[in-house]
Structures are given as C-alpha cells and as structure tokens.
Amino acid sequence: MKRAAELGCANTHFTNPHGLHNENHYSTARDMARLACAAVENETLVRMASTRSVTIGGRTMTNHNKLLNQIEGCIGLKTGYTMAAGRTLVSCVERNGQRLVAVTLQDGNDWADHAALYDYGFSTYPAKLGASLGQTIQRVQVENGIERHGAPGGGGQLRLAAGGGGVLELDVELAGSLRAPIRAGRRAGEAVFLGQWKRGGPGGAAVWRRRGAPDGERPEHSEAGVAGIERGQHGRTTAEAAVRRGGFCSRRTAETYLIAGRVTVNGQTAHLGQRADPDRDEILVDGRPLAPRAEAVYILLNKPRGYVSTLSDERGRRTVAELVADCGSRVYPVGRLDLDSEGLLLLTNDGAWAQHLLHPKHEVEKTYHVSVFGPVAGAAARLAAVTDLEGEPIRPARVEVLRETPGTAVLAVTIHEGKNRQVRRMCAQCGLTVKRLRRVREGALELGDLPPGKWRYLTQDEAGALGVTP
C-alpha cells in the first residue's frame, strides 16, 4: 500500500497480492494505469508479459492475451476476471520508443476497444525526441577550466509525448556555480523538460537527470555533466534557442541554420552554443529579424465554485479560461483548484515561473479557509497532527481556529505541499466534512477583497516575490 500511495494511487486498497476477491479490494482505471506505468519500468516483467509461448520441461505454456497478436508493439500486461470485478484488461504498447498504457474495467468488447485506444493515443500524442544522452544540447559555462564550457556524454534517448501541436521546453537547474576541476561522475544539475499538451495548460513535466561527465574524460577539461539552455542576466540564452523561440523552426532545424551560416548576431555569423540576448542583440535569420517575444503575463484570479482549472473541458463544464478571456494573452493555470473549491488561482504564460512555483523543493506555502462541520472540538490539533494520508507521508500543516460554534468551525489551514485534494483528505481523516474550501494565500500573495470571478494583473514585484524574478 505504501508503494501504491507513492505512485499516486489515491483510490486503491488491497489486502493480498494475488488479487482474488476480498471486500476490502478496490481500485480505479486511473490508479491501475499508474500502477501499470510503474510496472513496465521492470524490463524482466516486460519480457515475461510479452512472451507468447514458452516450453519448460517439455510443457508448453501459451500466453492468452489476444492483444499480443492483434496490436503492433503490444507487450501484454494483465488480463483478469472475477465474478465481483468482472473483466479487467490492462495493456501496454510500445512504438518508436514510446509506451502507452490502456485500462478498461467491465468492458465486454475490451480487445477491440484497446486497439482503438492505441490508434487514438499514438496519433494524438506522438513521441517527440527530447534528447539523446550523449548529444550536446548546450554547453554550460565553467570557471577556471582549460575549457570554459562542458557537456555530458552517454547513451540512450529520452522521448516525451507532447501531443499534436504540443511543445517541449527545456530548462536547467544547476547545483551551483561550476568551477574546475569537475570530476567525472559528479552531478552538476538537472535538465528539465516541460511539456505543454494539446489541450492547453502546463501539461506536466518530465525530468532527465544525467550524472557527471563520461568515465575516462579528464576532469581538467571541466566537463559540466549537464545539458540544457544556459541562462544568465538579461535573459541570455543560445542563438539556436532564440531562433527556435522566435517562431522560425524547430530546435534541430535551428542548429542546421547555424551550421549553414544563416544566422547572425550583431552582424557576425553565429556558431552553435553562442550566447545571445533576444532583447539586446540583433539576431537575424537569412537577414530577417526574429519575431518579438510575447510579453510575460501574471494573473491572480478569484476562482468561483463550479469552474474547472483547465483551458478546456471535454465534459462541457465551465473553465477558468472563460474568466480571463479578456486578459489579452493565452495563459495557463499554475496548479489547480478542485471544481468545488474556490479562491486564489494564479495563471501565466511564463513556463519557468510556473515551474518554480510547482516544484516541491521550493515549498511555496498555501493557506486555505475551510468551513467544516462534525466533531470540531480539538479539530485544529488533530489536523496539525496528520502526517500520513493513506500511506502517503505529508508535512504537518499549521492550523488556526478562526470561528467555532457547536458542530461547525472555520479553520485556517496552511500546507507546504500540493497533494491531490490534500486539505479535503486531511479533514475526512479527522472526521470532518468540508462545506466550503477557499484558498486565500499563496506564498506572499493574498486574495484580499477581489470579488469571485474577477482577476487582476500581478505587479513585477509581486511576481518576483514568489521566488523568480520575471
């Protein structure tokens, strides 16, 4: 159960490993998909599940998963049936280095439905090559070295599904300034790939970590062991990244432009890895200037109940995008508030700023005013003592009683993490029923008296107070 909780299986419970019926067994298709994604990381299990037949001791055993013969790239996974659960089919298919998982429950046509799901999945969310380990994406600056820049080596590839029309952005978090000598194997930082999915909004992040320089390379060459975009003051990046972001082409094509001598910086032919500032330097492609970058926008919205924190909704529910449609830019929610929750919600078109707020290591505090009923006597102390949610460890919250009457109370709950429905789950664990949940503070920002459904721009100081200077 602990491992299930670590995988985010919030609606799963089991009492034995064999899966036979037990009244305390339950799960959802989503949770089973999460479990399957973790399972296929075990290549031994993958080999077993994808084996169609094997003969051992003169006995031949055949895999009865029909998808192995029906779907290209199927690696099997799990079939099952009990009288209580009905038909269960969990499958995984790999094509072009990308794996997708499908789960159906009580589906009488599951073989055909899985085939249709994979046709849709691979066509709608094709894998994009984020990086090849060993490929120099960008060399990063190293001080006091024989070589002033370094890059990693190695083998393998990283593929990410960004969807049709989706984009992958790359950022780098260094462990600190890099000074020679840097020994082979030292972890210098992380290359972080951020995806914006087809349906809008920050679709999530995938992290590629590569430790140090390849074995055998001399540390005096100052190999940094990190791939990414080098950023400095005034938004300095690389010439190829600036060309790509200027709307001309993909990263790979931008690199070919530089190799061919088609890019100039301040009148001089640019080279791969050259640093340039789109705001200060004149960058031309075939003599044409780059398109101006979109101005960063930071918005604070008082989200009402009944709105989902997405840009679109397949079920036709109202979205927060409708509330900020007149802001003049395409902005994305930073995190989310549940349909029935309300209050402070940030939106932006600045992916780096959003990622900073969402990254667990920055521990941006959030305060909620929570109206509850039930056994409210001592509720603050009980909530503050919660350090485990269904096997998932959490940091203790700060809880203050704002108002209390017999059977009801209004509590101020401050948390440091953003676990799924964390405050509601904490209250349920303490026997409390939530009537209203409103976020009133995030970091240094407070909701104040902004009316529900209304929004305002953040000032540069307010945006910078959350940890990243825009």
**Res 310: pLDDT:** 84
Residue 148 CB partners (closer than 8 Å, separation 6+) = 141, 142, 222
Does a structural domain hold residue 85?
A: yes
In this structure, the answer to whether residues 317 and 420 fall within a common structural domain is: yes
**Res 283: pLDDT:** 86
Residue 23's CATH number? 3.40.710.10
Final residue before a domain boundary, out of 97, 124, 151: 124
Among residues 140, 136, 157, which one has the least CA distance to residue 148? 140
> Mean pLDDT lowest for which of 61-70, 237-246, 377-386?
237-246
In this structure, the answer to whether residues 97 and 145 fall within a common structural domain is: no
Residue 431 in this model has a pLDDT that exceeds 90: yes
Residue 221 domain boundaries = 127-230
At 440, the pLDDT band (50, 70, 90 cuts) reads: very high
In this structure, the answer to whether residues 391 and 271 fall within a common structural domain is: no
Does a structural domain hold residue 115?
A: yes
**Which is it for the CA torsion 355, 296, 455, 326, positive or negative?**
negative
In this structure, the answer to whether residues 241 and 187 fall within a common structural domain is: no
In this structure, the answer to whether residues 52 and 160 fall within a common structural domain is: no
Residue 207's CATH number? 2.60.410
Active-site amino acid positions? 338
Q: Please, where are the H alpha helices in 271-421?
A: 320-323, 351-358, 379-384
**Res 376: pLDDT:** 94
In this structure, the answer to whether residues 135 and 109 fall within a common structural domain is: no
Final residue before a domain boundary, out of 101, 124, 147: 124
Final residue before a domain boundary, out of 180, 203, 230: 230
Q: What percent of the chain has pLDDT over 70?
A: 69
In this structure, the answer to whether residues 10 and 109 fall within a common structural domain is: yes
User: Across residues 438-446, what is the average pLDDT?
Assistant: 94
For residue 442, give both structure tokens: 């995030």
Q: Which residue has the higher pLDDT, 149 or 83?
A: 83
In this structure, the answer to whether residues 304 and 378 fall within a common structural domain is: yes
Q: Does an H or E element contain 122, and which?
A: helix 110-124
Report the distance separating Cα 345 and Cα 447, nearest Å: 9
CB 221 within 8 A of CB 150: yes
In this structure, the answer to whether residues 430 and 444 fall within a common structural domain is: yes
**Which is it for the CA torsion 417, 422, 423, 429, positive or negative?**
negative
User: Across residues 18-28, what is the average pLDDT?
Assistant: 78
**What digits encode the pLDDT tens for the residues 164-174?**
445 555 555 56
Does a structural domain hold residue 171?
A: yes
Amino acid at 25: H
In this structure, the answer to whether residues 136 and 277 fall within a common structural domain is: no
**What digits encode the pLDDT tens for the residues 108-162?**
889 989 988 888 888 777 766 656 555 665 666 666 654 444 444 333 455 555 4
Number of domains in the chain: 4
Report the distance separating Cα 218 and Cα 181, nearest Å: 9
Residue in the structure block whose two tokens are 């089991």: 14
**Res 315: pLDDT:** 78
**What digits encode the pLDDT tens for the residues 276-300?**
877 778 888 888 887 665 678 899 9
In this structure, the answer to whether residues 309 and 407 fall within a common structural domain is: yes
**Res 316: pLDDT:** 83
Does a structural domain hold residue 470?
A: no
In this structure, the answer to whether residues 428 and 320 fall within a common structural domain is: yes
